[in-house]
């Protein structure tokens, strides 16, 4: 049974980078007919907010990434305390008292000597009396996990074989001085107890994975399959981290992007398969293969989402759009015709209402100075309203005969006069949609 999880900390809105993690885990679970858990990593009571929990759920629902159950780390603190006791009993947990300033100083010294800034385990040398004194002086210490200094190796679903020398990694702090359990421990306990079989996350977690594999082993467990996807960069390869705040899923949604445009791009970007527009989640699941993704940073251009959104909309049958079209005010009787005429000419759903307003109210004509007389002459020849499918060719034939204009110099001024735009659907189809006479 495949079990995956998406484990955001509810300390902010989720962005396009988080979405990648959520989507891969969701796709793996759905493809295997397994379970997808939404796990809220909310052990930090100061930074975790209910409003972000709601926002994360709303954003995932918008995309259709449904979960089978929700877990909250804040409700599982007793489980983590038990695991901490087990690590203590196994001699793999030790209390350390260095202040952040002292640790910083140690790191600087090591770097100056050309050594990696790995915690020197000084606390392992403290005897009980010294610990008592430090506790009295500084309060309770942090709890560090004592890594076995050997190579930690795993077969990564994306990176291939990974081998990390534990001696190059600091013994991770799993519990803070104030008793707060940190993600590294909580995640290990959850992944084990919840039977998580596959963990896909960003490559910024590779070192965590190494330490978590050892912690799991120290608790007597194996580990899930890990896969680390590359991080997104901007279109030029620049770090995206600073811009991620502007790439929240809520902003993308407010900008009118279609879920299938976002999902189609993110399910393929950075893989060796081309981006293909999918019209349903089932198609997306069908075409997904995590092993096709590469380790190289993945360039992401938010500008690609608009044209994809336009393509998603152009492909939507009327039945799928009826609600939006009705909400824009289009009467049901002409709505199917309306949609077949404008569907190729909307970038987002927000463009639907302006088209309707044009047909309902008539245009704000755009007439160049040199075309003024021509347009007046042409409009005088326009057959009476309502217009039919033959009106455009009948009319432009007459205008051509009268004025001698042809081709672009005939059609473009008329399009601009009737729609106020240089581009749009076939005029022969546009004309019958006008609800008002145009002269």
As measured in angstroms, the least distance from the Cβ of 107 to ligand GLU is 23
Cβ–Cβ under 8 Å, residues 51 and 9: no
Spatial distance between the Cα atoms of 5 and 71, rounded to a whole number of angstroms: 10
Count of residues in contact with ligand GLU, rule CB under 6 A: 8
Subset of 374-413 contacting ligand GLU (CB under 6 A)? none
73 binds ligand GLU (CB under 6 A): no
Q: Which of 3, 4, 7, 342 binds ligand GLU (CB under 6 A)?
A: 7
Contact between 190 and ligand GLU (CB under 6 A)? no
3-state secondary structure of 250: helix
Q: Are 411 and 396 in contact (CB under 8 A)?
A: yes
Binding mask 33-62 for ligand GLU (x = CB under 6 A): --------x---------------------
Which pairs with CB-CB distance under 8 Å and at least 24 residues apart come from 415-418?
Answer: 416/365, 416/366, 416/367, 416/368, 416/371, 417/363, 417/365, 417/366, 417/367, 417/371, 417/375, 417/378, 417/379, 418/363, 418/365
Position 8 contacts ligand GLU (CB under 6 A): yes
The residue whose two tokens read 């190494």 is: 210
Question: With CB under 6 A as the contact rule, which of the stretches 4-12, 97-105, 245-253, 315-323 interacts with ligand GLU?
Answer: 4-12
Quick check: 183 binds ligand GLU (CB under 6 A)?
yes
User: Which segment (7-15, 281-289, 312-320, 359-367) binds ligand GLU by CB under 6 A?
Assistant: 7-15
Alpha helices in 296-371 (DSSP H): 305-314, 318-327, 335-342, 352-361
Q: Report the residue number, 17 or 141, with the smaller CB distance to ligand GLU.
A: 17
Question: Among 43, 187, 298, 309, which residue interacts with ligand GLU (rule: CB under 6 A)?
Answer: 187
Tokens read off for 118:
């790995």
CA distance 153 to 173: 21
Q: Which is nearer to ligand GLU, 201 or 405 (CB)?
A: 201
For the four alpha carbons of 431, 435, 438 and 439, in that order, the dihedral sign comes to: positive
Q: Smallest distance, Å, CB 11 to ligand GLU?
A: 9
Burial class, 410, CB count within 10 angstroms (exposed 0-12 / middle 13-18 / buried 19+): middle
**Minimum distance, C-beta of residue 14 to ligand GLU, in the bound complex (Å):** 9
Q: Report the site for ligand GLU in 200-239 (rule: CB under 6 A).
A: 201, 205
Which residue in the shown chain puts its C-beta closest to ligand GLU? 41
Where on the chain is the footprint of ligand GLU (CB under 6 A)? 7-9, 41, 183, 187, 201, 205
């Amino acid at each position: 049974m495949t079990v995956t999880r998406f484990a955001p900390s509810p300390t902010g809105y989720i962005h396009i980078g988080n979405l990648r993690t959520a989507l891969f885990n969701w796709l793996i679970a759905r493809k295997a007919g397994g379970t997808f858990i939404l796990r809220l990593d909310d052990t930090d009571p100061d930074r975790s907010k209910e409003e972000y929990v709601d926002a994360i759920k709303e954003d995932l629902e918008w995309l259709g990434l449904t979960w089978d159950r929700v877990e909250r780390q804040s409700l599982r603190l007793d489980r983590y305390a038990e695991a901490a006791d087990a690590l203590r009993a196994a001699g793999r947990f030790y209390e350390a008292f260095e202040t952040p300033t002292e640790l910083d100083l140690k790191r600087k010294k090591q770097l100056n000597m050309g050594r990696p800034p790995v915690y020197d385990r000084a606390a392992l040398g403290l005897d009980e009396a010294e610990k008592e004194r430090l506790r009295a002086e500084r309060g309770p210490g942090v709890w560090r996990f004592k890594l076995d200094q050997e190579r930690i190796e795993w077969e990564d679903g994306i990176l291939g074989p990974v081998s990390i020398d534990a001696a190059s990694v600091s013994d991770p702090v799993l519990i803070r001085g104030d008793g707060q359990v940190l993600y590294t421990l909580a995640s290990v306990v959850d992944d084990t107890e919840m039977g998580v079989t596959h963990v896909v996350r960003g490559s910024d977690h590779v070192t965590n994975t190494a330490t978590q594999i050892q912690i799991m082993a120290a608790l007597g467990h194996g580990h899930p399959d890990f896969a680390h996807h590359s991080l997104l960069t901007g279109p030029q390869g620049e770090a995206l981290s600073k811009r991620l705040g502007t790439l929240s899923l809520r902003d993308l949604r407010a900008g009118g992007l279609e879920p299938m445009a976002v999902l189609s791009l993110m399910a393929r970007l950075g893989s060796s398969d081309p981006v293909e527009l999918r019209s349903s989640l089932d198609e997306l699941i069908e075409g997904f293969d995590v092993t096709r993704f590469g380790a190289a940073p993945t360039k992401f251009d938010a500008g690609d989402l608009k044209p994809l959104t336009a393509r998603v909309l152009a492909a939507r049958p009327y039945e799928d759009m009826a609600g939006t079209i009705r909400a824009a005010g289009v009467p049901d009787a002409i709505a199917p015709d309306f949609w077949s005429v404008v569907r190729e000419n909307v970038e987002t759903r927000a463009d639907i209402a302006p088209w309707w307003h044009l047909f309902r109210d008539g245009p704000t004509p755009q007439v160049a100075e040199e075309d003024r007389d021509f347009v007046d002459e042409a409009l005088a020849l326009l057959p009476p309203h309502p217009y039919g499918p033959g009106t455009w060719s009948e009319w432009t034939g007459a205008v051509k005969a009268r004025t001698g204009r042809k081709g672009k110099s005939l059609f473009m001024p008329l399009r601009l006069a009737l729609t106020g735009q240089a581009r749009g659907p076939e005029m022969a189809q546009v004309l019958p949609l006008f609800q008002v006479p145009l002269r």
